[in-house]
Structure formats: structure tokens, C-alpha cells
Amino acid sequence: MKRQLAYQIGYVIAAVAFGAPASAAGIATVTDVVNDGYRTPPGHEEQTAKRADELVQNEALRTDDESSIQVTFVDGSELRVEAESEMVLSDYVFDGAASKGLINLNDGLFHFTSNGKPDQGVKLKTPVATIGVRGTEFLVHVDGNDVTIIDIMAGAVEAKPNGTGQAIVCVGGQSILIAGPNEDAMCGDLGSFSSASGAPDHDRRPEPGHGGQDRERPKQEKAEPPKPDPEPEPDPDQGENSGSNVMLFTDEEPFELG
């Protein structure tokens, strides 16, 4: 019996020493859930997200209509998954000084806030672009594989299309449009690209356009001046000559009546 117990203890020590599988370390915590939010830990079925749930790498988050999930990472930065959105915490590491890694935003609306933390090593990836964080606050509208729009509240953001498109850096008070992986990223006034993907404007209703430029107005044909109304024909029964003789004209000679 003692020999068997000693063998079991030795097996456990060896397993720990040589890297036996362990539970994944938490990288974020759910701090708020509105209505219907869900999470899918790696290797598990989807389950309802609850406040204080610990999230790990490769965990997926999803929200329904009129729902949201607020997540706080171990470094203090925050990500809010708005309604009808999907994302995956693909890779995220915090070494006690700074964070680095990759977060996949698949579809929907997301609100990221650094809270002053050094997050330059963190990348947010959408189907068409990769977003570099530079200590900032911004919204990301992801229209599936079609369009990504970034509204920058503060700080700076670098957006690089995932294909051959040219990257760009924009600052607070501006928006970025990436219309496809092979399209150049564009800067514009804050909220000016929201209509490109049907994204909500969050109470900002600027004139739609690209890069803050005025759209060309359609040409209008020159209007013709209005024609004057025809003068009314005099009433033979009224007027100054209502009692005078009336002259009739025929093909021959005029003659007088009365």
C-alpha cells in the first residue's frame, strides 16, 4: 500500500515537472452583461455569460439583439462587445508591465478603451484589417468580410488592410474606413463613414462622405422663367361700355345692332 501511494505521488510530481496539462490562465473578467450574452470556452459548449466569469485564451464571446458584454483585461484595459457581435480572444498575454496579443473581432460593434495602459503590443483583427492600439479609446464597426470602420475618441490608431491596401494612422476626432483588404485605408471626420456599413452613428450625424470631403452635387437643368398669366377676356355684360351698341363683323360689311 505504501509502495503504491509513493508511486502515485511520484507520478504527480513527474507530471507537474514535465509539463502536464493545466487549466488555462485567465486573461480577462466579465464585468457586466446586459440581456443575452454568451461565451464559449475552448473545448466547451456555448454557455450564458455572467458577471465575474473568468475568460481565457481562445474563448469566444457573442451577443444577441439589444445585448452587450463588458470585459476587463488583466492590465485594466476594457472591451465592450455591443449588440449582435462576435469575437474571439485569440491570443493575449500580460507580463506585468505591458500586454500583447491578438483579438479577433469577427462581426458587430466593439468599444475598446486602454485606460492609459501600455497596449501597443495588442492587435485587434477584423476580416479586412488589423488595428494597432496606441493608448486610446475607439469604436470598431465590423461589417463581416466587407467593411471595417474605426471611430477614434482619443489617442491614435493605426489601421492596416490585411491584403495589399496601404496602412494609415489617424487620431482622436477622426474615423478610418477600410473598404476591403486590398483597399487603402482612409481618414475622415469623426462619424463620416458610418453610412458605408450601415453602422450606428451614436448620436453623431455628420454629412455623409469620404474623408470629410464634400460630395459633388448633382447638376440641375436651368429653369425657364415662368410665363405670364394671360389677361382675362372682358365680360361683354360688364364694364364702362356695357350699355353701348355692339358691332358685329361678318365676311362682308360690319353692321350695328340696337
pTM above 0.85, yes or no: no
Q: How far apart are CA 100 and CA 93, in angstroms?
A: 5
Which residues contact residue 208 at a Cβ distance below 8 angstroms, ignoring those fewer than 6 apart? 192, 194, 195, 215
DSSP type of residue 88? E
Kindly give the pairing relationship between strand 99-113 and strand 86-94: antiparallel
Question: What is the model's pLDDT at position 214?
Answer: 37
Q: How far apart are CA 80 and CA 70, in angstroms?
A: 4
Q: How far apart are CA 122 and CA 46, in angstroms?
A: 26
Neighbour tally for 114: CB within 10 Å: 23
Domains and CATH numbers, the chain: 26-196 (2.60.120.1440)
- Mean pLDDT, all residues of the chain: 77
pLDDT tens column, 226-254: 566 666 665 555 544 444 454 544 555 55
Find, among 83, 213, 228, 197, the residue nearest to 129 by Cα.
197
CA atoms within 13 A on the CB side of 201: 14
Task: Determine the residue type at 96.
Answer: G
Give mean pLDDT, residues 213-228.
Answer: 47
pLDDT tens column, 33-60: 999 999 999 999 999 999 999 999 999 9
Helices marked H in the chain: 2-17
- In order of 9, 32, 227, the CA distances from 224 in angstroms are 100, 64, 9
Q: Which three cell numbers stand for residue 146?
A: 466587407
